[in-house]
Amino acid sequence: MKEDFYIHTLPNGIRCVLKQVRSAVCYCSMTIGAGSRDELAGEYGAAHLLEHTLFKGTERRKAYQVNCRLENLGGEINAFTTKEETVVHATVMKGDFGKAVELIGDIIFHSKFPEVEVEKEKEVIYDEINMYKDSPEERIYDDFEDLIFAGSQLGHNILGRKRTISKLHSEQIRSFVERNYTTDRMVFATIGNISPSAFTKAVEKYFGAESATTKANDRVVPELVERFDKVVSHPSHHQVRCILGTRAYPLEDKRRLALILMTNILGGPSAASRLNVALRERNALTYCVEALYTPLSDCGMLTIYFSCDKDKVEQCREVIDKELQRIMEQPLTPRQLSIAKKQFIGQFTISAENNEAYMLGVGKSLLVYGAVDSLDEIYRKVAEITPEDIMAVAQDILPTLSSLTYK
């Protein structure tokens, strides 16, 4: 399966990548290598507040004009913040591609962050924080990250806390932009029926006039924390929720694909994953169990999450421990490995058919690796994984699991 990516780097350092597909719809995004881990002490929550206020007015548009620009055309624009990136993305009919590029450039480079709008958006974020507090299955992940990355840039919630957010103003938001929204950390990605010449013309017109800016990498690799088993009392909850997890490999580690495959085998989306079969299908102990590997630029995290009735926690832990021992001690048979690879490749290929999700992945790949692997290259790397590779990452990662339990 041959895939062609057209890559064009502007003189100011912004990298732009296009994948042509036959579609009436065009997806585009600007990925900026700045997230909550780039916040300074005292401004936790600034990256997320900034993402919200990007849409609250520019030098040439009022807030309602920003929001209506693409929606009046049947398209949409949105954004999200992670620990390491902020992404502004738009979906439009292919004939409106230029309008989407112009609007993305306008809000990223020319937002004004008016104080009155910042104050209003704080109230929206307070409500978002309250919703999050009412979702223990989401909150436990953030609380676990705070523990596993304690004392580091990664050891605080993306949303921030109300007390800190209340003290943030336009000045702090502009300071964050100046420090972190540099052109060398920006990648613009597009998937759609756009010619390379039209793509180049649009990005040069709307991004090319911006001055080149750079930022030294001031991210610090989090120090390892001692293994922990923490229980937090939540007597009002009907269920126990538990995360087992540990530090894992960063994005550029060659063992990353083997760990992804091992995680998929243990608790991926398939109903045939080992933990789902052992806990749910065979013993009816839980409705929900999943394993997740989250790689970051200089570290990563592996987690296993499950929920169950309060009297079934120990039994769940015993079953999970047996499955972890099995994957560490018993190599996969050729048939088991073949099924695991086919399942992963199938999931990956199907997800690539979602052009919006694929576009976001392409942008991050160019930002992190400076290149974009074709599907064929990914298939080749997966094909090279051996049973010994799976056992090696299991033996390296799984013995160090910590736990956090909401009980």
CATH topology of domain 229-406: Cytochrome Bc1 Complex; Chain A, domain 1 (3.30.830)
Half-sphere exposure of 340 (CA within 13 A, CB side): 29
Instruction: Give the pLDDT of the chain (407 residues) as one tens digit per residue.
Output: 346 899 999 999 999 999 999 999 999 999 999 999 999 988 999 999 999 999 999 999 999 999 999 999 999 999 999 999 999 999 999 999 999 999 999 999 999 999 999 999 999 999 999 998 888 888 999 999 999 999 999 999 999 999 999 999 999 999 999 999 999 999 999 999 999 999 999 999 999 999 999 998 889 999 999 999 999 987 777 899 999 999 999 999 999 999 999 999 999 988 899 999 999 999 999 999 999 999 999 999 999 999 999 999 999 999 999 999 999 999 999 999 999 999 999 998 998 889 999 999 999 999 999 999 888 899 999 999 999 999 999 999 999 999 999 99
Same fold, 6-206 and 229-406: yes
| Residue 250, token pair as written in the block | 């960063």
The predicted-structure confidence for 239-265, as pLDDT tens digits, reads as follows 999 999 999 999 999 999 999 999 999
Backbone angles phi, psi at 85, to 5 degrees: -140, 155
Q: Nearest-CA neighbor of 228 among 161, 307, 145, 142?
A: 145
Q: How far is residue 70's CA from residue 191's CA, in Å, rounded to a whole number?
A: 17
Q: What is the mean pLDDT of the chain?
A: 94
CATH of 6-206 among 3.30.830.10, 2.60.40.420, 3.40.190.80, 3.50.30.30: 3.30.830.10
Q: How far is residue 333's CA from residue 337's CA, in Å, rounded to a whole number?
A: 6
| Residue 58, token pair as written in the block | 């520019």
Whole-model pTM above 0.85?
Answer: yes
Any idea where the domains of the chain sit in the sequence? 6-206, 229-406
Q: How far is residue 32's CA from residue 35's CA, in Å, rounded to a whole number?
A: 8
Distances (CA, A) of 219 to 33, 268, 361, 364: 11, 30, 22, 18
The predicted-structure confidence for 16-51, as pLDDT tens digits, reads as follows 999 999 999 999 999 999 999 999 988 999 999 999
